[in-house]
Structure 1
Amino acid sequence: MRELTLKHDDGSRDWVRLSASDLSSDDQPRHWLVMVRNVTSEIELRERNALLTSVADRTNRAVIVTDRDLTILYTNAAFANLFGYTPEQSIGRRAEELLIGPCTDPATVDRLRQCADDDRGIEEDVLVYDKDGHELWTTAYVKAHRTRRGKVKYLFGLLTDIRETKQLRSLQQLIMSSLASDLSITTIADQLCRRVEELAPDVVCSVLHVDSDGLIHPLGGPSLPPAYSASLDGVAIGPDVGSCGTAAYLCEPVLSQDIDNDPRWQPYKAGPLGAGLRACWSSPIKGKDGRVIGTFAFYFRECRGPSPWHEQIVAACIQLGALAIERQEVRSTISQVAYHDMLTGLPNRARIPSLIAEAIKACPAGGHVAVAFLDADNFKDVNDTLGHAAGDEFLVGFANRLRAQIRNGDMLGRLGGDEFVIVLQNRDPLEASLAAARITAALAMPLTIGKRQVPMSASMGLSLYPDNAKDIETLIKQADAAMYKAKRGGRATYRFFSADIDKLAEERLMHSTALREAIASEALTLHYQPQIRTRDGAIHGVEALARWHDPVLGEVSPSKFIPLAEECGLIEQIGVWSIKLACQQMASWRRARLDIPCISVNLSPINFQNVNLAAMVAQILAANDLPAKMLMLEITEGVILNERATVIATMNELRNMGVGLSLDDFGTGYSSLSRLAQLPIDELKIDRSFMRDFENDNGTRAIVTAVVRVGQSLDVAVVAEGVETEPQRRLLAELGCDAMQGFLFARPMAASAFSRWLLDYSAHRASLMLRQVGRALAQAGSTEAERKPRPSAVAAG
């Protein structure tokens, strides 16, 4: 049989097929039967089909043709490349048998089968499987081919691999959109996991964050048991911490195909096994600096490993996860700087109002929120004497003490300096009082800084919502006012806000403003109180004491304005002013030929941090033509704590000049005998508080005796303050105290009054001395007369 081309007279051509049959027998001539059939249409159809097949084999889309029963009639080369089935392996088999797998959506398949009802064809994204059982996401377009009578004869399918072009790109779009929408990292991670589980229905997905301390924090895992996810929070990564902790530790993917028997999973396996999860594959998420910042994990319900499609998903998600986590870390850093105190890590002034607002919002009907305002009582002493590094250490220790005392739901913040705020959630007045007492007691224990035990305490004020106020600003203001009342009440205690505290707060503001004006206009004055030598009653010296009389406020006690000056940062200015005025007055008394050995001026430890203090004192002395020995600078006992080179150098420089240094209020603060022996001190002053019980209390008398003995052993003078009675004077004299100062001798007085007092005192003292001399001479004359022999009666006669 042959196929030939016949050419007609008109130039047209037809294909014919010739077939010949031999009809002859052996004994007859040969006869042939030749049949000619026009096969032009068949040849054209065959060539057209060959062309279509050639074209179909060159496309990258898989083509499949089936009959109406879905039996495969044709597949192209792309189908073989995509699914792994050659035409010989495909043709004659049903499409469902080759393509549908365990996670193929039945509803999607049913919709595709309905293509016979839609002449336009149907297009759906569907998850199918290749010859090796691997997942393939495709877009399937299915259209029915009908006969002239409208019956379905063939089904034509066009399948496009959309794993990278559509599905993975959808993950990128999801994350980018979420980041642009400023969603939280947990929301983004949750969305990512849900989308991944749609693309790979046979896995359960999780995203973990690994912080800078190497601790795990769940971000996303909506299909995992909540209790299991919660149990991972705060777990440290390590070489045997499941798949995720190990992957983060080793910085490489970790596959556990059998969680139940994997030794790395033993402490953690109950959660996943209880949820029917048998295997886990975890990959580290790395930041730009190479640090592991998270993990991305697939859990499987069978003991297995990942497929190529899983690997493609994870490769994309690791990059997306790194982008989201790094963005969150940057935001956290910015938030930490903006809303947290860098020293203690606590919420700062900008964040505290919102914390109070959150507490109020969560407060149940009829409940209370207590706002506590705390101020460290002795922070300035520590900071000024031990230095800023020790001050920082003190504040950190202070914050840690407070952290340990608050319960879940309470909030702690630092306003700045040594001021802290505690928000006590759902506390009535009694409960708030108990909490304040507990905090006060916890702060009573000394804090160790270096080798020193530093006292710690706080003054605390409390304001209650809604009893005292309903707005946040007022609550803080009221708690602040109550705190100052606690300070005035003796410190190391707490006070609740009351109506009268508002008046005290207004008074404090008015006083601080007036004090600044008084210093600027030099409206302060000095009063002078004499110090009397014990052994002979002579003038030991005079102490210059600051006084303030305001035209509006009247006489303001030093017990009010000196602490206020310390709080407002004015105490150093007052110290410098006191030295200048005292030296001017001393020079005036010298010109008047008043015999005053020296004048004492009180300074703050802050003054000694000024490297120019000694030079400034030298200038003041020179300007007033005063010998350095005539100036005594009194410093508080807190200076003993100071290890700063500037302070010690300044003290030594003053001492080398000849200026005396007196340690004021000895025995009430940070007494350290070993440190005291190393300081250039000329004088110790016994605080007036010891004089109250000196006559009747054996313990107080023992302390005073010890101070006198310390002074004697160090060869420094001891001056007792607050002496008001003759028994006190007599007892101090018996102990050998060098000098006394107090109302028994004279109250502090203005310079002119002191001049008159000194003249009177000197005259009185001279009169006493003359009488004593007269009595002594009279007694001596009487004794001499008794020694002369009297004439005998006989001789007289």
Structure 2
Amino acid sequence: MRTRDCPVVETPDFLLAALERANDAVVIIDSDLHVSYFNAAAELIWRLDRTEVLGRHVSCLGLEELRQQSVATPASDQIGGDDAIQDRCSEIRIERRDGSRIRAALSLSHVEAGGQHRTIAFVRDITREIERRERMALLTLVADRTNRAVIVTDRDLKIIYTNAAFAGLFGYSIGEVSGRQAIDLLVGRHTDRRTLARLRHWIGEERGGEEEILAYDKNGDEIWISANVKAFRDGRGRVKYTFALLTDISETKQLRSLQQLILSALADEIPITEIADRLCRRVEEIAPDVVSSLLHIDAGGLVHPLGGPSLPEDYSRALDGVAIGPDVGSCGSAAFYGKPVLATDIDTDPRWQPYKTRPLEVGLHACWSTPIKSKDGRVIGTFAFYFRESRPPSRWHERIVDACVHLGALAIERWEARAQIARLAYYDMLTGLPNRARLRDLIAEAIRTCHPGKHVALAFLDVDNFKDVNDTLGHSAGDELLVELAQRLRAQIQPHDMLGRLGGDEFVIVLPNRDAGEAALVASRITESLVVPLQIGTRQVPMSASMGISIYPDNATDIDALIQQADAAMYHAKRAGRSTYRFFSADMNRLAEQRLAHSSALRSAIANDALKLHYQPQIRTSDGAIHGVEALARWRDPVLGEVSPAKFIPLAEECGLIEQIGHWSIREACRQMAEWREAGLDIPCVSVNLSPINFQNPSLASVVTGILADHGLPPEMLMLEVTEGVILNERSVAIETMNALRKLGVGLSLDDFGTGYSSLSRLAHLPIRELKIDRSFVRDVEADPSARAIVTAVVRVGQSLQLTVVAEGVETDGQRDLLAELGCDVIQGFLYAPALSAAAFGRWLLDHSAKRASAMLRRVGRCLARPPAGSPPHVSTTKGLG
């Protein structure tokens, strides 16, 4: 662009000098929009020399705004006529020749003087001002968007600025707090004044500082904040402003401190009472206006204080053992209903009337209790706040309790779990009595605290016939019997005596400071207390126990020895007829050693196939023919000699060997039957005795099926004998096993009928084929009318149910004849033969068959020799023949 000749501005020299020194750029434009004046400040702003600008069109300065505003202000619009001036102001952007840009404030003055129109542009670089203004706006925006409260005060700590987060946290608007003292606004009566003093100290420090303060919002609710303060100073170092950044730490720090407190205490295995105490103390630190307590509610609904360090100790003791209920203060009611209970005035609240005296005496006037629940919904505790004035909880109190309820549940559940583990380790879960592990400690304690010259009696009890009840009525009935037994035993001993369960049906009673005479009195009372049967459902089950007693220090000074001696004495009581007691004597050691030797030898005999079966014949009364044989186990040990079945069969049941013996007996009897059949001996059936324990095994039928198949025997050749005790429970596994065997075709014989618990109604539904009359009735059948009546009744029952009736223990011709006359089908006993080895029985059978054949021939001969009725007498024709 070319410059044109520009007329000289006629301006006084002093005015030109002033314009030249002005801080703002001054540009004068004539009516044709050409630059007629350009001062030094304008040269700095545009970075142009005035010689490059004067006389040129204003567009060379990039002032399109100036051109537009000049056009928008024609002379006809001017006010005031000649020499009139009008100012217009705006912000403009200037792009300089080097490409840089600035922001400027443009002020225009339009002048009409001497008939000439002039525009004077005053331009000031405001780039930095705008940047600072925008930065302040951004800072204000950030401050309002942050979740931390911001306060700015003057040197007197009067508030001059707060952000939106402050209003949200404390509820005050900037208008409500402007000019107010910040500390007076936020603190309350429970704010720690020492903390405030430290905060004022940090304001005076160069780097500032941070403190945790209990503050209060507009509603008076507590808020724990972290206040980070810093002072801004003027050029002389004096405080001009104070800046405070306030963070709500109620959740992040104060409540988490509770969590950390409890978790670390649990990790350190600290006792529950100390954990509760620490929790309550920490709560009272972060909520200084409350007194807190933690209670445990046991399974029976009883209250047990765990923590409450600020409550009177006698008041806490008085709560221990109180039952929860709808009107039991705040805690008992909260636990009863399972929801929070608030009593704003303890003095008048009806739920507090029996309990209010002591709290009111120490200045507690309100109580808010919240139940603590386990994962399964059980109320296991309560957490309570007591207030020194009649009031409800604040929002801060509610947040604390929410945290403490969860932490309390965690602590109590863990404590209960550990207590349960301890109970499992040291207490019997069925009866609640100390178990074997715990009993040793109790016995040791009794011995340690025994008075000088006194004794400690140790009684070892074993339930009589417990296996029969457990195996026939079921385990639930057995458990019921054990629980009842434990209760009856506890009722017969003193509070300082100790009762425990070793396991199964074995119990131990420790009687401190008792001699043999006093122990005998206790044992007698126990025996008498067990006379009354236990009612299980519709049945009455007899209860009795055999007891053995050892005395410290007379018998032994070692705990294990005392227990072993009492155990040996107990077995002696069982052999004496059960339901009695015996004291340990030296001879019992020998018997215990003998029992141990027998047990070991029996295991060896089973493992080495040293047991044998002997066979006793069963004879039909109708014709004397063999009905079958009963297989009876025999044991002859190389060292012990002949061991009676009456000894080793119970021993096998006690040692868990009876099932093996039962299976072996079936297998051996079937093997022998197959061998006899192959030899041509006709033996219709073999009976094998089994223990009730064998019938508790559901797989017995499949075992029998396999054995019969192995030896090629039809199932009707096998008869399995059961006792009455095995069928006491009609829904037991034994009945199912019996039905499976009967369906298989195997016969079942009810042994010792009349000596147990069977009823005729149940007998009619049992899958049996045979009844056996016990030898105790047969022995006296000739002389005792009662025995004869029982035998007659059994025979009639068998006949009515179409069962074969077998009499055991027949030893005389008179017994045989009477049984035959009564209609007994089969007899066995020494009258015919004892139990014989397989080879001896084979010989006996041949002899018996020969005798029967001879007797038959004699009967036939007599019949042939007898003349027919009505025939003449026989006349010999050989008379006189040599």
TM-score by length of 2: 0.65
State the partner residue of 1:293.
380
Deviates more, 1:363-372 or 1:161-170: 161-170
Specify whether residues 100 and 257 from structure 1 end up closer, same or farther in structure 2 by C-alpha distance, changes over 3 A only: closer
Asked whether the equivalents of residues 395 and 418 of structure 1 are also in contact (C-alpha less than 8 Å), the reply is no
State the partner residue of 1:244.
331
Counterpart check, 1:356 vs 2:443 = yes
Counterpart check, 1:80 vs 2:180 = no
Counterpart check, 1:669 vs 2:756 = yes
Aligned-pair CA distance for 1:545 = 0.5
The percent identity for this pair of structures is 68
Aligned-pair CA distance for 1:329 = 2.4
State the partner residue of 2:545.
458
Among 188, 196, 199, the residue aligned to 2:275: 188
Among 816, 820, 824, the residue aligned to 1:737: 824
Specify whether residues 309 and 51 from structure 1 end up closer, same or farther in structure 2 by C-alpha distance, changes over 3 A only: closer
Specify whether residues 520 and 401 from structure 1 end up closer, same or farther in structure 2 by C-alpha distance, changes over 3 A only: same
Aligned-pair CA distance for 1:629 = 3.0
- Please give the secondary structure, in 2, of the residue aligned with 1:53: coil
Aligned-pair CA distance for 1:524 = 0.6
Residues 158-237 of structure 1 mapped to structure 2, 5 A cutoff: 178-190=265-277, 192=279, 205-211=292-298, 214-221=301-308, 229=316, 232-233=319-320, 235-237=322-324
- Please give the secondary structure, in 2, of the residue aligned with 1:671: coil
Asked whether the equivalents of residues 670 and 713 of structure 2 are also in contact (C-alpha less than 8 Å), the reply is yes
Specify whether residues 726 and 232 from structure 1 end up closer, same or farther in structure 2 by C-alpha distance, changes over 3 A only: farther
State the alpha-carbon separation in 2 of the partners of residues 305 and 626 from structure 1: 88
Aligned-pair CA distance for 1:518 = 0.8
Specify whether residues 754 and 579 from structure 1 end up closer, same or farther in structure 2 by C-alpha distance, changes over 3 A only: same
State the partner residue of 1:632.
719
Give 1:628's aligned amino acid.
Answer: P
State the alpha-carbon separation in 1 of the partners of residues 265 and 713 from structure 2: 78
Cα deviation digits, residues 545-586 of structure 1 (max 9, x gap): 000001111111101111111122221221222222222333
Give 1:395's aligned amino acid.
Answer: D
Counterpart check, 1:526 vs 2:610 = no
- Please give the secondary structure, in 1, of the residue aligned with 2:550: strand
Cα deviation digits, residues 136-164 of structure 1 (max 9, x gap): 999xxxxxxxxxxxxxxxxxxxxx99997
Give 2:654's aligned amino acid.
Answer: E
Aligned-pair CA distance for 1:201 = 9.1
Aligned-pair CA distance for 1:270 = 6.8
Specify whether residues 744 and 254 from structure 1 end up closer, same or farther in structure 2 by C-alpha distance, changes over 3 A only: same
Aligned-pair CA distance for 1:398 = 1.4
Cα deviation digits, residues 421-454 of structure 1 (max 9, x gap): 4444554434433433444444454445555544
State the partner residue of 1:397.
481
Give 2:841's aligned amino acid.
Answer: F
Counterpart check, 1:605 vs 2:709 = no
Give 2:481's aligned amino acid.
Answer: G
Cα deviation digits, residues 4-45 of structure 1 (max 9, x gap): xxxxxxxxxxxxxxxxxxxxxxxxxxxxxxxxxxxxxxxxxx
How many residue pairs match? The answer is 674
State the partner residue of 1:474.
561
State the alpha-carbon separation in 2 of the partners of residues 456 and 215 from structure 1: 34
Give 1:53's aligned amino acid.
Answer: D
State the alpha-carbon separation in 2 of the partners of residues 297 and 218 from structure 1: 11
State the alpha-carbon separation in 2 of the partners of residues 618 and 130 from structure 1: 87
- Please give the secondary structure, in 1, of the residue aligned with 2:419: helix
- Please give the secondary structure, in 1, of the residue aligned with 2:380: strand
Among 153, 156, 159, the residue aligned to 1:53: 156
- Please give the secondary structure, in 2, of the residue aligned with 1:547: strand
Specify whether residues 289 and 512 from structure 1 end up closer, same or farther in structure 2 by C-alpha distance, changes over 3 A only: closer
Asked whether the equivalents of residues 727 and 734 of structure 2 are also in contact (C-alpha less than 8 Å), the reply is no
Asked whether the equivalents of residues 497 and 512 of structure 2 are also in contact (C-alpha less than 8 Å), the reply is yes
Asked whether the equivalents of residues 369 and 427 of structure 1 are also in contact (C-alpha less than 8 Å), the reply is yes
Counterpart check, 1:715 vs 2:774 = no
Specify whether residues 607 and 286 from structure 1 end up closer, same or farther in structure 2 by C-alpha distance, changes over 3 A only: closer
Counterpart check, 1:542 vs 2:646 = no
State the partner residue of 1:32.
none
Asked whether the equivalents of residues 472 and 732 of structure 2 are also in contact (C-alpha less than 8 Å), the reply is no
Among 467, 489, 493, the residue aligned to 2:576: 489
Among 639, 654, 671, the residue aligned to 1:567: 654
- Please give the secondary structure, in 2, of the residue aligned with 1:596: coil
- Please give the secondary structure, in 1, of the residue aligned with 2:639: coil
Give 2:484's aligned amino acid.
Answer: N
- Please give the secondary structure, in 1, of the residue aligned with 2:462: strand
State the partner residue of 1:554.
641
Deviates more, 1:515-524 or 1:612-621: 612-621
Specify whether residues 169 and 444 from structure 1 end up closer, same or farther in structure 2 by C-alpha distance, changes over 3 A only: same
Aligned-pair CA distance for 1:510 = 1.6
Asked whether the equivalents of residues 57 and 78 of structure 1 are also in contact (C-alpha less than 8 Å), the reply is no
State the alpha-carbon separation in 2 of the partners of residues 692 and 362 from structure 1: 57
Asked whether the equivalents of residues 53 and 76 of structure 1 are also in contact (C-alpha less than 8 Å), the reply is no
Counterpart check, 1:581 vs 2:665 = no
State the alpha-carbon separation in 2 of the partners of residues 271 and 704 from structure 1: 79
- Please give the secondary structure, in 1, of the residue aligned with 2:642: strand
Asked whether the equivalents of residues 721 and 749 of structure 2 are also in contact (C-alpha less than 8 Å), the reply is yes
State the partner residue of 2:104.
none
State the alpha-carbon separation in 2 of the partners of residues 772 and 331 from structure 1: 86
Asked whether the equivalents of residues 272 and 415 of structure 2 are also in contact (C-alpha less than 8 Å), the reply is yes
State the partner residue of 1:704.
791
Asked whether the equivalents of residues 357 and 472 of structure 1 are also in contact (C-alpha less than 8 Å), the reply is yes
For the aligned residue pairs, the C-alpha RMSD in angstroms reads 4.8
Specify whether residues 205 and 533 from structure 1 end up closer, same or farther in structure 2 by C-alpha distance, changes over 3 A only: same
**Greater Rg, structure 1 or structure 2?**
2
Asked whether the equivalents of residues 260 and 278 of structure 1 are also in contact (C-alpha less than 8 Å), the reply is yes
Aligned-pair CA distance for 1:348 = 4.0
Asked whether the equivalents of residues 724 and 744 of structure 1 are also in contact (C-alpha less than 8 Å), the reply is yes
Among 599, 606, 609, the residue aligned to 1:512: 599
Aligned-pair CA distance for 1:482 = 2.9
Aligned-pair CA distance for 1:179 = 3.6
Give 1:580's aligned amino acid.
Answer: R
Asked whether the equivalents of residues 58 and 77 of structure 1 are also in contact (C-alpha less than 8 Å), the reply is no
State the partner residue of 1:120.
none
State the partner residue of 1:262.
349
Among 365, 370, 374, the residue aligned to 1:283: 370
Query: Unaligned stretches of 5+ in structure 2?
Result: 1-152, 163-178, 195-211, 226-245, 876-882
Aligned-pair CA distance for 1:194 = 6.6
Give 1:253's aligned amino acid.
Answer: P
Cα deviation digits, residues 401-431 of structure 1 (max 9, x gap): 3134315344444444444444445544344
State the alpha-carbon separation in 1 of the partners of residues 355 and 158 from structure 2: 56
Give 1:334's aligned amino acid.
Answer: I
Deviates more, 1:173-182 or 1:432-441: 173-182
- Please give the secondary structure, in 2, of the residue aligned with 1:296: strand
Which of the pair has the greater relative contact order for Cα pairs under 8 Å at 6+ separation?
A: 1
Query: Unaligned stretches of 5+ in structure 1?
Result: 1-49, 60-74, 85-98, 109-124, 139-159, 790-797
State the alpha-carbon separation in 2 of the partners of residues 327 and 690 from structure 1: 63
Give 2:293's aligned amino acid.
Answer: S
Give 2:419's aligned amino acid.
Answer: S
State the alpha-carbon separation in 1 of the partners of residues 741 and 420 from structure 2: 48
State the alpha-carbon separation in 1 of the partners of residues 377 and 697 from structure 2: 48
Asked whether the equivalents of residues 343 and 396 of structure 1 are also in contact (C-alpha less than 8 Å), the reply is no
- Please give the secondary structure, in 1, of the residue aligned with 2:756: coil
Aligned-pair CA distance for 1:689 = 3.0
State the alpha-carbon separation in 1 of the partners of residues 528 and 499 from structure 2: 17
Deviates more, 1:601-610 or 1:554-563: 601-610
Asked whether the equivalents of residues 330 and 368 of structure 2 are also in contact (C-alpha less than 8 Å), the reply is yes
